[in-house]
Structure 1
Amino acid sequence: MTRSRSIWIMDLLEYPLSRSPVVRTRDPETMRNALFTVYGATGFAVAKPADFEGVANYLLLSKIGLGFCGYGAKTVVEFPEGDFARLQIGLKGKAGVILGSTATIPVNEQQPGITPPGQPTTIVFEPGFEQLILRIKTGALENALTTLLGAKPRGSLVFDPTAPPKPPTAQLLRELIMFLANQLNSMAAQLPKSMLQELEQALIVSFLSAHRHNFTELLESSATEPAPLVVRLAEEYVEANWARAITIEELASQTNTSIRSLYAAFKKYRGYSPMRFAKTVRLRRARQMLLEGNPKTSVSQIAFKCGFGNLGHFAGDFRQMFGELPSEVFARAQRAR
């Protein structure tokens, strides 16, 4: 590749997210150091070091990371498993994503590439390739999924990187990413914190809707098919009586159905059991009380008031659902008073 055809026109071209530069270099070793220290890469190789040119920009927000990179020579980068999902939006040229021993997944202007959380990855960047990268923390994805479904689903969130994205939602996701990158790249744009948070949440929800995972069918059925009356009645009863012990027999009686039928309805339309829903409601109530930071109460008193007799189990369930211990939430709320 000759310099006249180079992507290296830094003084004339402002790349996406150029206000958040990481590296712009012709030196492969400089690029290697940036990839290892900023992005956590574990491997880096360039086919023709003399032709190498690279640029990388990256901005970390509260729940997501948004980046840009481009390479002038064929480059191979290896990443270990991470606690986030990675989405590659091709802007120019082509690349390939190798996940474990599977076949290479192409990435280009028409086809994005996804790396699921916990998946080691090798990415082959062809000369002239440019892309936007979206990283979403696993916890943010799980919290958004819980909000969409109404309760934390059973099991871990697992994406299928080989499944094609859903065209309408995938296009919306791409447009949202491009919009946010453009806004963050504008010297005049100073987005309010609340707007950034809303855009982050919109990106996360769009990502969950556009890319197939093990809860896709449940998510789609929740959006398109209303739950039967028996499920809604049970949920309303739990919401109204969360402060006292509720048995599955009581729920079946209140909804005028059998225990077996009630369990089957919740499993089909919610993906979890009626008693799991009851626990989720109590955990949310407990969090609301903890966030008040009332100095006249304590974590243990709130736990008991919300129906949790075992403080260890309460702390474990709370942390699994909200990503932090109840004592941490309570202490933070008290400091803010």
Structure 2
Amino acid sequence: MQAAPNSQMHRHLFSRFPKFTSHDAEEVRHQVSRIFCDHDLRVVGKSQALNTQIHFRQGKRVSYGRMLYGATVDIEPGNLDDFYLIQIPVAGQEAIQYNRHAILSNTRVATIISPDLEFRMRHERNAEKLFIRVERSAFEQQCAQYYGHLAHGALHFNPAIHLQHPSLQSLKRLLDWQLYEASEGDLFDQPLVAARFEEVLMMSLLGSLQHNQPSHFDTGHIAPGFIKRAEDYIKHHAHLPLTAGDIADQVGVSIRTLFAGFRKYRNTSPMRFLKQIRLEQVRHELLHPKSDTAVTHVALSWGFTHLGQFSADYQQQFGELPSETLKRSGG
């Protein structure tokens, strides 16, 4: 695993994903609206000129990027409607105002803007930020799966993220790593892996940040038939980028109920069961190789990205290394 970026490296992330560069205010407003939402944009002061740069890597449910305006600007989007926006300044600062409150966001204080929050912000001339766009439908589905339902209407976060707070250090490390990997690595090119990373990000935000959903719930009674249906679904869909939320949604329970059921009746977790099924599929391909079959390619195609851990898990389950299976099969 690559090391997380330091503060200087942050300012070069997503350089291989250029979206646009412009000095024209109307073009900037139009192009930014295509990534985010329609908004009013005003350059503060007649002596300033825009030098806007945006780098953007689009994903299925989560997208990543870096941007700067090159001038002090006032931005009034109203609200975002269909996505959550995480903003992490890497230089300078921006002020965000909402509901008679204000947040001064800088390298120590990030923000998460919920879709229904009406806000405006001033982005200072020397400000540059990383951002993460999470689709609303995916995030609220994840929340409903995680807690069993949305108890208090739409999911709404407290906007301020104090990155130096001791309770948020695990989340900060996760954000650093995901941003770096999305920028510099190739794991996000694997659909199975990208889906898991998106789910981990959403669940980590739910578990770490303040929001309006309850943190307690009743797991209720779980029947063995429910577990069997989940197992059958996993077996028949292991080739897809399954997440715990997908499985829970398919059988009609929350993620915690799903995990509690597998723990009680199978002494494992649904994701470990999925890994076991995928290991069996890898073994099947290695036992019936084609002329170009390679262990690394087969492992990656089934979602195993940490090859050392994959080999150890494979050996523990089957009593031999994957390379030994392929060699024994004539591959």
1:236 aligns with 2:222: yes
CA contact (8 A) 1:85 1:135 kept: yes
CA distance in 2, matches of 1:54, 1:282: 43
Matches within 5 A, 1:91-106: 91-99=90-98, 101-106=99-104
CA contact (8 A) 2:50 2:71 kept: yes
Match of 1:278 in 2: none
Judged with a 3 Å threshold, the aligned counterparts in structure 2 of structure 1 residues 238 and 194 are, in CA distance, closer, same or farther, namely: closer
Match of 1:311 in 2: none
Residues 244-280 of structure 1: per-residue CA shift (max 9 Å, x gap): xxxxxxxxxxxxxxxxxxxxxxxxxxxxxxxxxxxxx
Which is greater in Rg? Answer: 1
CA distance in 2, matches of 1:160, 1:187: 30
Classify the secondary structure of the residue corresponding to 1:179: helix
Higher relative contact order (CA 8 A, sep 6+): 2
CA distance in 1, matches of 2:250, 2:185: 41
Match of 1:25 in 2: 22
CA distance in 1, matches of 2:52, 2:102: 23
Matches within 5 A, 1:140-289: 140-149=138-147, 151-161=148-158, 167-168=165-166, 170-186=168-184, 191-215=189-213, 218-219=214-215, 221=216, 232=220, 235-236=221-222, 284-285=250-251
Q: Aligned letter for 2:91?
A: K
Match of 2:84 in 1: 85
CA contact (8 A) 2:111 2:161 kept: no
Give the Å deviation of 1:55.
1.0
Judged with a 3 Å threshold, the aligned counterparts in structure 2 of structure 1 residues 170 and 83 are, in CA distance, closer, same or farther, namely: farther
Give the Å deviation of 1:154.
3.0
Classify the secondary structure of the residue corresponding to 2:222: helix
Judged with a 3 Å threshold, the aligned counterparts in structure 2 of structure 1 residues 137 and 45 are, in CA distance, closer, same or farther, namely: same
Match of 1:318 in 2: none
Judged with a 3 Å threshold, the aligned counterparts in structure 2 of structure 1 residues 174 and 286 are, in CA distance, closer, same or farther, namely: closer
CA distance in 2, matches of 1:282, 1:141: 15
Q: Aligned letter for 1:96?
A: A
Matches within 5 A, 1:49-64: 50-64=48-62
CA contact (8 A) 2:37 2:77 kept: yes
Is there any run of 5+ residues in structure 1 with no aligned partner, and where? 1-12, 244-280, 288-337
Q: Aligned letter for 1:54?
A: T
Match of 1:44 in 2: 41
CA contact (8 A) 2:143 2:149 kept: yes
CA distance in 1, matches of 2:248, 2:114: 31
Judged with a 3 Å threshold, the aligned counterparts in structure 2 of structure 1 residues 119 and 107 are, in CA distance, closer, same or farther, namely: same
Alignment match of 1:108 (pick from 103, 106, 121): 106
Give the Å deviation of 1:162.
5.1
CA distance in 2, matches of 1:133, 1:236: 40
Residue-pair matches, total: 224
CA distance in 1, matches of 2:42, 2:31: 13
Match of 1:305 in 2: none
Classify the secondary structure of the residue corresponding to 2:171: helix
Match of 1:256 in 2: none
Classify the secondary structure of the residue corresponding to 1:117: coil
Q: Aligned letter for 1:64?
A: V
CA distance in 1, matches of 2:249, 2:44: 54
CA distance in 2, matches of 1:134, 1:190: 14
Is there any run of 5+ residues in structure 2 with no aligned partner, and where? 1-9, 230-246, 254-331
CA contact (8 A) 1:159 1:211 kept: no
Match of 1:133 in 2: 131
Residues 273-330 of structure 1: per-residue CA shift (max 9 Å, x gap): xxxxxxxx9984489xxxxxxxxxxxxxxxxxxxxxxxxxxxxxxxxxxxxxxxxxxx
Q: Aligned letter for 2:95?
A: G
Matches within 5 A, 1:294-333: none
Residues 155-205 of structure 1: per-residue CA shift (max 9 Å, x gap): 423424356558356333333333233223337777422121111111111
Judged with a 3 Å threshold, the aligned counterparts in structure 2 of structure 1 residues 55 and 170 are, in CA distance, closer, same or farther, namely: farther
CA distance in 1, matches of 2:11, 2:124: 21
CA distance in 1, matches of 2:201, 2:170: 9
Q: Aligned letter for 2:90?
A: L
TM, length-normalised to structure 2:
0.58
TM, length-normalised to structure 1:
0.57
1:75 aligns with 2:61: no
Give the Å deviation of 1:89.
0.8
Give the Å deviation of 1:41.
2.9
Q: Aligned letter for 2:28?
A: M
Match of 1:272 in 2: none
